Amino acid sequence: MENTNNNASFFNTVINHQMQNRPVGDSMNDNDSNIQISHLNVSINNNHILKDINLVIPDNKITCIIGPSGCGKSTLLKSINRLIDDVDNSVVTGEIILEGENIYGKNTELTHIRKKMGLLSQRPTPLPMSIYDNVAFGCRIHGIHGRKKLNAIVEENLRNADLWDEVKDRLHNSASSLSVGQQQRLCLARGLAVEPRFILGDESTSALDPISSRNIENLFLRLKDKYGIVLVTHTLRQALRIADHVIFIYLGEIIEVGSAEEVFKNPQHELTKQYLSGAFS
């Protein structure tokens, strides 16, 4: 018990420290580009994993999904870009509406949905080709082939991912020659090149060293002006540093949702308080 109290005061100190000097204010913008999730239920192998999820995920903000291991964070993220379709024996019911379209609608085309949702995985997944071709890959699939146009797209997106200066003289080298941190920025550039609406990250800095992690966090902070960003965060500290909006999940249910300010400083639910105090993880 004493240990929990110590943890609680430690986390309160960290929370207060991290929340200071952060830009705050989280009026949920009522726009068509928010992701609206209604009555989402997901079962895998007849296990009910996500239970009646109702949420609005705002555009132009960083939303962090937090909760203990196994609570359903990755499943929620996979439901948003329909990667859940690739999970054997998964059944999804409910609606996820983006830009007026139910992504689970009968006529919804998968490539089109995935294009709107750039996914950054836990480990960088560069394609076995050059730096240049990695960024151009999605554009070529979507029918852009002109050399001049591709050159411009490659440069712009490498700049947006803060990688251009490091690779501009070796664009035709293999992507595997890059460091892990650079590879993750390359994957971000590849995702951005197809003009997504949202960027999704599943513990996307967990394989990186602290400096590379901060680079990616800073990129997210910069990119939120143009995209909605949804991150499953592997550490509370990361959520404290960058979240505008927080979703706390426990055993497949949404326990608490709100601005980072509200959830971290004044959690309403006992489970959220315990989780934030480090009582379980």
Ligand X SMILES: Nc1ncnc2c1ncn2[C@@H]1O[C@H](COP(=O)(O)OP(=O)(O)O)[C@@H](O)[C@H]1O
**Footprint of ligand X on this chain (CB under 6 A)?**
44-45, 49, 67, 69-75, 87
Residue 46 binding target from ligand X, Mg ion, none, CB below 5 to 8 Å by type: none
Q: Between 133 and 203, whose beta carbon lies closer to Mg ion?
A: 203
d(CA 269, CA 258): 12
Torsions phi, psi for 189 (to 5 deg): -60, -40
Closer to Mg ion at the Cβ: 63 or 74? 74
Query: Cβ of residue 252: shortest distance to ligand X, in angstroms?
Result: 7
Task: Sheet with 198-202: list strands edge to edge.
Answer: 117-120, 198-202, 228-232, 62-66, 245-250, 253-259
User: In terms of Cα–Cα distance, which of 81, 127, 67 is closest to 250?
Assistant: 67
Least distance between ligand X and beta carbon 63 (Å): 15
Sorted by sequence, the CB contacts under 8 Å of residue 54 that are 6+ apart come out as 37, 38, 39, 40, 254
- Closest distance to ligand X from the beta carbon of 67 (Å): 6
Q: How far is the CB of 261 from Mg ion (least distance, A)?
A: 25
Q: How far is the CB of 82 from ligand X (least distance, A)?
A: 14
Compare residues 74 and 233 and give the one whose CB is closer to Mg ion.
74
**Closer by beta carbon to ligand X, 78 or else 185:** 78
Tokens standing for residue 95: 């609606």
| Binding partner at 277 among ligand X, Mg ion, none, C-beta below 5 to 8 Å by kind | none
Angle, helices 180-192 vs 210-223, to 10°: value is 20
State how beta strands 228-232 and 198-202 pair.
parallel
**Binding-site partner at residue 213 among ligand X, Mg ion, none, CB < 5 to 8 Å by type:** none
At its nearest, how many Å lie between Mg ion and the CB of residue 74? 3
Residue 218 touches which of ligand X, Mg ion, none (Cβ within 5-8 Å per kind):
none
Q: Is 87 or 129 the residue whose CB approaches ligand X more closely?
A: 87
Q: Which residues pair with 90 in a beta bridge?
A: 44
Binding to Mg ion, residues 66-85 (CB under 5 A): 74
Partner that binds at residue 71, options ligand X, Mg ion, none, CB closer than 5 to 8 Å by kind? ligand X
Antiparallel, parallel or unpaired: β 245-250 and 198-202: unpaired
Closest CA to 230 of 91, 119, 129, 152: 119
Contacts of residue 106, Cβ cutoff 8 Å, sequence gap at least 6: none
Among the residues of the chain, which ranges form H helices? 2-19, 73-80, 110-116, 131-141, 147-160, 164-167, 180-192, 210-223, 236-242, 260-265, 270-276
| Smaller CB separation from Mg ion, 68 or 278 | 68
Distance (Å, rounded) from C-alpha 258 to C-alpha 208?
28
204 near Mg ion, judged by CB under 5 A: no
Under rule CB under 5 A, how many of the chain's residues touch Mg ion? 1
Shortest CB 73 distance to Mg ion, Å: 5
Which single residue brings its beta carbon nearest to Mg ion?
Answer: 74
Question: Is the CB of 232 or the CB of 240 nearer to ligand X?
Answer: 232
Residues in contact with Mg ion by the rule CB under 5 A: 74
